[in-house]
A and B are shown apart, each in its own frame.
Chain A
């Protein structure tokens, strides 16, 4: 077929697909076009899920089979409205398509998934992709939604106009998949009849910059043209062209054209976008038949209630209540089950092996360390079930819409709310759930503040301290509940304060424009939700588990060595002798101003494994067996603990200070591991550790010293 004048064949880093090699396909599309559903339908369970190195953008590569049974690799690229990238997700899409990512094969062919009910806007990205001159297949998805809206979308007409295969699909119902696979199996695909002339006001600039990129920046002709068009819509050359600087000549040309257009008052970016839309509207003239009178759609009728100023909030409160209740109540039985079985497995290993360091390493280090993390799996799965349910039905965007105003008061995004709510159960799933926040800055701030929410691991510490502070027989339960509630309120207040502070100091920027598409409501797709849950659960176990295993072994080592000279020494004497015990002594000068002694110091060190470990550590240190099951003997032991001068150690003020310390301090290695994974660097988890523990120390210092000054 004859190529348009501006198109030359692109240079390839891979051999051309042929009888011996099946092509690599990239799947692209706007957000909410059903791309992931189609990808899952095509590839089934044959997927590899990971991250693009250097960014926290999910990388999904799957395999489907051609009509002759040959494997075809499909890369599911992040959803995007345009190749002019504004987010890390969109930058990954652009870079993979332009062949800039060394970690991902440059796709030979592209599957463009478009929403038939919203064809013009979806074709905008397709229009940009056609500039790349690669073979394209268009999957005209959501034909059922278009029909429900009274629209008739003619796939054959679009195929005729563009000259590329256009397959009508309904990915949700599995319709059109066979036809799509047949198209994917074709040995040769035609290039599109992409008749689009660059608008006259900017055509000379495109030609000059394209030539300079080809001559001076080693770009192939088609990539040079696509990049020239992107550079003209965004002058941030690093953002557009990647970290490798452009040649001085290209820079010079860009500056010249920019100055000229500014002087002439030409809005070159608007001209370019309008020109594409004009071409798309012309293309769609005979493709789409719209109804003369369109009444309110099903989604409009549901939105009239769910986005209503009063009923919308009521429904939102019910959904969030159900989520909160499920995470705490439904997770309880499976968590107990895991806890019991991990303990039983530990006991079995203990019984089956001869006493010694290896046995202790396995039981006290590996099994209890990893078991202490696996226990969170039910909460993670439940939270991701809800996240998947809300995403799949289309309600997630509405929840973000409803919460956007209150969250924006502290500079957060409406989408931050659900992860923060989940953090009441556990910060780990909450941090993983921040992937639904598109804005990188808002996502990072949410990750940084989420662990301040009082998670369920803090409860045993609060309960022990409240029991020590207020003996059950003299103080009414309401007072205890009031103290507990105050701790939760303090953590929540901390979240809003630090979010507000970070948005003003670490990431100062003008208030943002938020513009978000609300997808049509759809029935939940349970298979997809379950897949999402399992993916997230496995990701957590695989990635966080390895780091947590390492830290568990280190913590076991610190509490076991050096050995007490007396082989029959009590656990209390052993832990006092250990590195952790020595560290507790070393730590004492730092924590003494907070009213804590070296024994509490050991508890602080060991509970870095998980906050609730503080209770069992206190049990070991104060020689109380079974402290996890019944805190009464431990409470009495703590009330009887003294400083060397005879003063009581656990005074009411110290108990309160210790609770406040646990509200703010980052006493959780699993969270550190997950933040490292989600931010792809040690910088943010270490910053989080420093700011949270620093705040805990400072607030406790003020509280304890003020309490002392007031005579408590």
Chain B
């Protein structure tokens, strides 16, 4: 039986306090490159601290703030609490 596709959601929709894995970047090349260079690329683990319009996240121990447009461009897969 084929595995069901992982449901992805934009980072801005990740609930506060939960952790997700970055799966896809959808912005322009320049944005994708900068995000990857900041260690926020595909497979990075990101914990949402707060915010929906402007998001505050924790990536590799660094707090990063993103505006709504940037958070919309980062698609994450939410991880269950036990997997963190």
Q: Please give the distance in Å from B54's CB to the nearest CB on chain A.
A: 5
- When distances are taken between beta carbons in the complex, the residues of chain B under 8 Å from A401 are 54, 56, 65
Q: Please give the distance in Å from B13's CB to the nearest CB on chain A.
A: 17
Q: Please give the distance in Å from B38's CB to the nearest CB on chain A.
A: 6
Name the one of B31, B56, B62, B67 contacting A121, with C-beta atoms under 8 angstroms.
B62
Instruction: Tell me the nearest residue of chain A to B66, going by C-beta.
Output: A515
- When distances are taken between beta carbons in the complex, the residues of chain A under 8 Å from B33 are 84, 233-234, 269, 273
Q: Please give the distance in Å from A192's CB to the nearest CB on chain B.
A: 20
Instruction: Tell me the nearest residue of chain A to B30, going by C-beta.
Output: A86
Task: Report Cα–Cα, A269/B70, bound state, in Å.
Answer: 19
Instruction: Tell me the nearest residue of chain B to A235, going by C-beta.
Output: B29
Knowing A233-B33, A307-B50 touch, does A513 contact B70 (C-beta < 8 A)?
Answer: yes
User: Is B56 a contact of A518 with CB atoms below 8 Å?
Assistant: yes
User: Is A303 a contact of B69 with CB atoms below 8 Å?
Assistant: no
Bitwise, A441-454 to B at CB < 8 A (1) or not (0) is 00000000000000
User: Is A120 a contact of B60 with CB atoms below 8 Å?
Assistant: yes
User: Is A515 a contact of B53 with CB atoms below 8 Å?
Assistant: no
Name the one of A277, A404, A515 contacting B35, with C-beta atoms under 8 angstroms.
A515
Number of A residues near B (Cβ < 8 Å) is: 39
Q: Is B15 an interface residue (CB 8 A)?
A: no
Name the one of B27, B41, B58, B64 contacting A516, with C-beta atoms under 8 angstroms.
B64
- 26-78 of chain B: CB within 8 A of chain A: 27-42, 49-51, 53-54, 56, 58, 60-70, 73
For B40, B41, B61, B68, the residue with the greatest tally of chain A CB atoms inside 10 Å of its CB is: B61
Task: Report Cα–Cα, A234/B62, bound state, in Å.
Answer: 26
- 195-235 of chain A: CB within 8 A of chain B: 233-234
Q: Is A397 an interface residue (CB 8 A)?
A: yes
User: Is B61 a contact of A517 with CB atoms below 8 Å?
Assistant: no
- 87-130 of chain A: CB within 8 A of chain B: 117-118, 120-121, 124
User: Is A274 a contact of B29 with CB atoms below 8 Å?
Assistant: no
Q: Please give the distance in Å from B70's CB to the nearest CB on chain A.
A: 4
Name the one of B28, B41, B66 contacting A270, with C-beta atoms under 8 angstroms.
B41
Knowing A303-B56, A405-B54, A518-B56 touch, does A82 contact B66 (C-beta < 8 A)?
Answer: no
Q: Is A315 an interface residue (CB 8 A)?
A: no
Instruction: Tell me the nearest residue of chain B to A402, going by C-beta.
Output: B54
User: Is A517 a contact of B32 with CB atoms below 8 Å?
Assistant: no
User: Is B38 a contact of A513 with CB atoms below 8 Å?
Assistant: no
Knowing A233-B33, A270-B36, A270-B42 touch, does A514 contact B56 (C-beta < 8 A)?
Answer: no
User: Is B49 a contact of A303 with CB atoms below 8 Å?
Assistant: yes
Instruction: Tell me the nearest residue of chain B to A413, going by C-beta.
Output: B67
Knowing A82-B37, A84-B37, A274-B41 touch, does A516 contact B61 (C-beta < 8 A)?
Answer: no
Q: Is A67 an interface residue (CB 8 A)?
A: no
Instruction: Tell me the nearest residue of chain A to B39, going by C-beta.
Output: A121
For B31, B49, B67, the residue with the greatest tally of chain A CB atoms inside 10 Å of its CB is: B67
- When distances are taken between beta carbons in the complex, the residues of chain B under 8 Å from A515 are 31, 34-35, 38, 40, 64-67, 70
User: Is B66 a contact of A514 with CB atoms below 8 Å?
Assistant: yes
- When distances are taken between beta carbons in the complex, the residues of chain A under 8 Å from B49 are 300, 303, 307
For A294, A309, A513, A518, the residue with the greatest tally of chain B CB atoms inside 10 Å of its CB is: A513
- 303-318 of chain A: CB within 8 A of chain B: 303, 307-309
User: Is A124 a contact of B32 with CB atoms below 8 Å?
Assistant: no
User: Is B67 a contact of A513 with CB atoms below 8 Å?
Assistant: yes
Q: Please give the distance in Å from B21's CB to the nearest CB on chain A.
A: 15
Instruction: Tell me the nearest residue of chain B to A514, going by C-beta.
Output: B67
User: Is B37 a contact of A405 with CB atoms below 8 Å?
Assistant: no
Task: Report Cα–Cα, A712/B38, bound state, in Å.
Answer: 62
Instruction: Tell me the nearest residue of chain A to B34, going by C-beta.
Output: A86
Task: Report Cα–Cα, A606/B54, bound state, in Å.
Answer: 47
- When distances are taken between beta carbons in the complex, the residues of chain A under 8 Å from B66 are 513-516
- When distances are taken between beta carbons in the complex, the residues of chain A under 8 Å from B28 are 513
What is B's interface to A at a CB cutoff of 8 Å?
Answer: 27-42, 49-51, 53-54, 56, 58, 60-70, 73
Give 10 A-B contacts (CB < 8 Å), ordered by A residue. A120-B60, A273-B37, A273-B41, A274-B36, A307-B56, A401-B65, A404-B54, A511-B69, A513-B27, A513-B67
